[in-house]
Structure 1
């Protein structure tokens, strides 16, 4: 049930408005001047406000100005009620952020029609805002996810680059031994020396094979998903 705040200094009009709205199944709170009305608006946060313009204490324009300056009440729809039908008054009210403007005397159906229309419009606006907020949240999540995936990809590329450099260096040592052993094997003059350099060749071959097998194993391990897991468990630096 929507809560309507009526701010009106004419007691009979205030009573009539309350009765009309309650018969239409609205919940109603009332204030007989702008000061009390403003306090109620801030405390009760109604769904809509009907507000007279010419009132003692705070007039309707001043009430609206105060409401629009408070984040909690800034979006509450407000309909002005007034005996003044001057076009400049209308422009002043709308310029301050009023949602509608009904002149006295008015018929009950005018009040109900205006209230229902403004509540419906406000509801649609809130739904659109909620949908936009949800879309923004989804977009932010996608951006965060893409940023994380990019970081994982960049980190993976850096790790692979560092490992490639390391393996390149590791492969050079056995190759040096192989080159040296081949040269010395050609120069060997007896079986003993040939066996010695063949043994060096076999050892260097085994080292090269171990390094290549290690490369294959790391290729399977170093995926973007594994990199993410390793970082989550703080096994990799940032």
Structure 2
């Protein structure tokens, strides 16, 4: 595995969701997190922040999560950084489509705050197992 998960970018346009995630991810799970309110902000911050993983809301005004993913994927410094979609769209065909875009995982919204860090860690470990197997 490529080390311990420490640095995350969390992209969500909803301030209340970011506040809950901030408490859980920074205070309880002790991650270093750059919270972004838009895809544009994530694109601006990502390379300089050097995240281990990116959490990305699918439905955002302006630039949605899918377009943000495409633009982040084009940044050379982010090659290999896993992206996890956060979405209220929980239909199997939607999740299959998201995975076809290359995301490492999908977490349903609303998420259980007390399970968020564990869900992220599970996806992180599975992603690195797949990479090691290749």
Task: Identify, as 1 or 2, the structure richer in helix.
Answer: 1
- Give the TM-score normalised by the residue count of structure 1: 0.49
Match of 2:21 in 1: 17
Partner of 2:103: 98
Is this contact kept in 2: 1:3–1:48, CA < 8 A? yes
Match of 2:12 among 8, 19, 22: 8
Alignment partner of 1:119 out of 105, 116, 124: 124
Match of 1:232 in 2: none
- Residues 5, 29 of structure 1: 8 Å contact kept: yes
SS in 2 for 1:67: helix
Find 1:76's aligned residue among 76, 81, 84. 81
Greater fraction strand: 2
Larger Rg: 1
| C-alpha separation in 1, matches of 2:130 and 2:45 | 24
Question: How many residue pairs end up in the alignment?
Answer: 129
Q: Which has the higher contact order (CA 8 A, sep 6+)?
A: 2
Residue 14 of structure 1 contacts residue 30 of structure 1 at CA under 8 Å; is this kept in 2? yes
Aligned-pair distance for 1:42?
2.2
User: What is the CA-CA distance between 1:120 and the residue it aligns to?
Assistant: 3.2
Structure 2: gaps spanning 5 or more residues: none
In the TM superposition, 1:122-133 aligns within 5 A as 122=127, 128=132
For 1:62, which of 43, 67, 90 is the aligned residue?
67
Instruction: Report what 1:31 is aligned to.
Output: 36
